[in-house]
């Protein structure tokens, strides 16, 4: 029952402690870090543009704060969905969809209308929720030692 093969992890076909796909995971994780950096910029950059956004959207400072705050409504809910989606469908399809939703939200936020800015921030929150979740997912599934 024991022996050398019994010590092997079922998903690691080579020697214990090595992963033949480690380089691919490192590249994927580096791309996940770029996605996380872009998500962070999309999340925090409107806070330094309050005056410019009030002029562009034609609303008060409180109105701009409400637009900026809509990001967190979908971010908090979609984090749960992102975790389940990554567990069920892996990162191959889920991660690019999250990046696409974030990009669509950034384009919608760039239009000078308060309605499209709200929709854009909602989409940014939904897409951004995948960034940190995917980085953690890739780090745990691509670890080099088992």
| Cβ atoms of residues 72 and 125 within 8 Å | yes
- Average pLDDT value for the chain: 83
| Cβ atoms of residues 125 and 74 within 8 Å | yes
Whether the pTM exceeds 0.75: the reply is yes
Residue-wise pLDDT for 61-84, tens only, equals 999 999 999 999 999 999 999 989
Is the pLDDT at 139 greater than 90? The verdict is no
| Residue whose token pair is 């809509």 | 70
Q: What is the pLDDT of residue 28?
A: 83
Distance CA 108, CA 74 (A): 15
Query: How many Å is the maximal CA-CA distance in the chain?
Result: 73
| Residue whose token pair is 């919608």 | 108
pLDDT band at residue 145 using 50, 70 and 90 as cut-offs: very low
DSSP 63: H
Distance CA 29, CA 3 (A): 34
For residues 141 and 128, which has the higher predicted lDDT (pLDDT)?
128
Q: What is the mean pLDDT of residues 39-68?
A: 92
Q: What is the CB neighbour count within 10 angstroms for residue 34?
A: 11
Q: Collapsing DSSP states into helix, strand and coil, what is residue 17?
A: coil
């Amino acid at each position: 029952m024991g022996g050398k093969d019994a010590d092997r992890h079922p998903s690691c076909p080579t020697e214990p402690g090595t992963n033949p796909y480690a380089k691919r995971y490192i590249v994927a994780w580096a791309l996940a870090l770029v996605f996380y950096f872009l998500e962070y910029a999309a999340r925090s950059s409107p806070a330094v543009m309050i005056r410019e956004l009030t002029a562009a959207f034609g609303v008060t400072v409180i109105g701009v704060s409400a637009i900026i705050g809509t990001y967190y409504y979908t971010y908090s809910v979609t984090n749960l969905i992102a975790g389940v989606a990554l567990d069920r469908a892996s990162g191959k399809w889920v991660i690019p969809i999250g990046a696409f939703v974030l990009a669509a939200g950034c384009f919608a936020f760039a239009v000078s209308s308060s309605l499209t800015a709200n929709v854009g921030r909602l989409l940014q929150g939904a897409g951004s929720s995948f960034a940190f979740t995917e980085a953690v997912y890739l780090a745990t599934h691509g670890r080099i030692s088992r």
